[in-house]
Chain A
């Protein structure tokens, strides 16, 4: 499963993107380049458009102006391109969104079988290897509803990894979890980062941002206010809005 001809450019390039919900201007002139292997944490107050921005990258939301280029392919309304990009971009949601009518193993095998046309035994072996990686192989035959929140989110990560993506998007992956389960999910994400996965992660876990991120992007009111390496971001933020936000979340 070697990735087919990785392009030489950046993993994700967003140029002058705008998005409106009706008359409401949710995203204003977003410019962001994510290099291969780069780990970016996006933070900001609720309603600042951070989830919307990463959901534009795999076209769960449509942008109205500007360009999004994922791994050398520009996102347009062409369905073939959208499906092609979705195959290379994994996503993890706040609410896990596991398929409750399928077992954990079936959840993982679904896309490899139906999208990659992988034979079932091979897909199951792949799924088991990722379940081991997120340290819950013993739950393979259970249904999602029988697992704890932390386990469900780890299954969701493994499900995305089964498509062998080059980029992983995380949309507040720990926000719906009980405090004692956050760590088990973050541990998986840290180990993924150590393996060099390109990651774009919306989160409020500032500890994770500090230790894992190459860059922290701060958004407010639909704009990218500041993007800087974690040290600079946390110790010497350049904008007043960032300072205010940091003072609110870091007690």
Chain B
């Protein structure tokens, strides 16, 4: 028994490898003269950028006080501005005494999203279904008013709340609509296919700004006089349709990657079109294009800032307006940094989640 290991010769460690931190440094940072040069250059760039940034943002920054005078003489960031306008950045011009309604919507939304997205919580169908079907109604009533709550007009909505309303609506609408458009475009029926192609190509050929402009300025011209629906609603429809067209193309890419044999096998078993697509093709296709879908969501989230063009003030619009206020002249940098930080957090969260999701779906089986 004990001769087994030795009869094949000793097991040697790989030659020429230095272990420990020094080995790591040599393997990863200084493996060639050129890499060493790059490493030194990067360290230098970090040295000239990071310490001043920390000085500005944290060490020399001011948070105290209630107006600009508090920051006079300080060389760092004036976070007093962000502190004093924080409410506006988050809620826009939403009446202060009604802000609890927004908080409730935020809280319910976050809970549902966490429940639907985190792998450990059971009942995905319920939480996901509630988020897609029940939550919008709840949010609509709570945010807009009615059923005994005072009405808050959408022109008062703004800040991060508006950003999230627009982004969530467009996300929730664009995924199913995108799937339908992608299936329609892959259809063999000429009219269905033609309609999908025309819609997708027209929408993709037009910039988002134009879609918003059309929705807000041109559309009312075609509506009968007296019929005028909400500006925010028009923007939501415009952005959702816009996002759907892009989503459709991402998903179509996934549909095309599924081998023909998968569809044939499903058909041969007697599954009809709906079940073939729903049980066999889409689960595989969507998994393949998760990076593309999240990419669309992230770019959609950032595109929501364009609603400023039609006079809706999302987070960025709110920051911009606040910093042009004479009280706070010269504070725009702090405002933009804050907006960038918030947008960055949301986008990072989406991207990390998609990576985790990809890894989770990949475990257990590989594609042939």
Contact = CB atoms under 8 A, between A and B. Distances in A.
A60 B276 CA distance: 14
Interface in A105-122: 110-111, 114-115
Contacts of A97: 259, 261-262, 264-265
A60 B364 contact: no
Nearest to B363: A143
A87 B275 CA distance: 14
Interface residues of B, number: 23
Contacts of B283: 101
Contacts of A145: 365-368
B270 A93 contact: no
**B262, B366, B368, most chain A CB atoms within 10 A:** B368
A110 B269 contact: yes
A100 interface: yes
B365 to A, nearest CB: 3
B368 A144 contact: yes
Interface of B: 259, 261-262, 264-272, 275, 279-280, 283-284, 287, 364-368
A163 B266 CA distance: 12
B352 to A, nearest CB: 23
Contacts of B262: 97, 99
A173 interface: no
A219 interface: no
Contacts of B268: 58, 60, 86, 89-91, 93, 160
A60 B365 contact: no
A163 B269 contact: yes
Contacts, number: 71
A231 interface: no
**A-B CB proximity, top 4 nearest:** A143-B365, A97-B265, A111-B269, A97-B261
B265 A99 contact: yes
A139 interface: no
Interface residues of A, number: 28
B272 A83 contact: yes
Contacts of B279: 110, 114
Nearest to A61: B264
Contact of B270 (A95, A98, A111, A156): A111
Contacts of B280: 99
A87 B261 contact: no
B271 A100 contact: no
Nearest to A95: B261
A146 interface: yes
Interface in A66-100: 79, 83, 86-87, 89-91, 93, 95, 97-100
A159 interface: yes
Interface string A16-60: 000000000000000000000000000000000000000000101
A156 B275 CA distance: 19
Contacts of A115: 269-271, 275
Interface string A134-159: 00000000011110000000001001
A80 to B, nearest CB: 10
Given A83-B272, A101-B284, A160-B269, A93 B261 contact: yes
Contacts of A159: 269
17 contacts: A83-B270, A86-B269, A87-B270, A93-B264, A97-B261, A97-B262, A97-B265, A98-B265, A99-B262, A100-B365, A111-B269, A111-B270, A114-B279, A115-B269, A143-B365, A146-B365, A163-B270
B262 to A, nearest CB: 6
Nearest to A111: B269
A89 B365 CA distance: 29
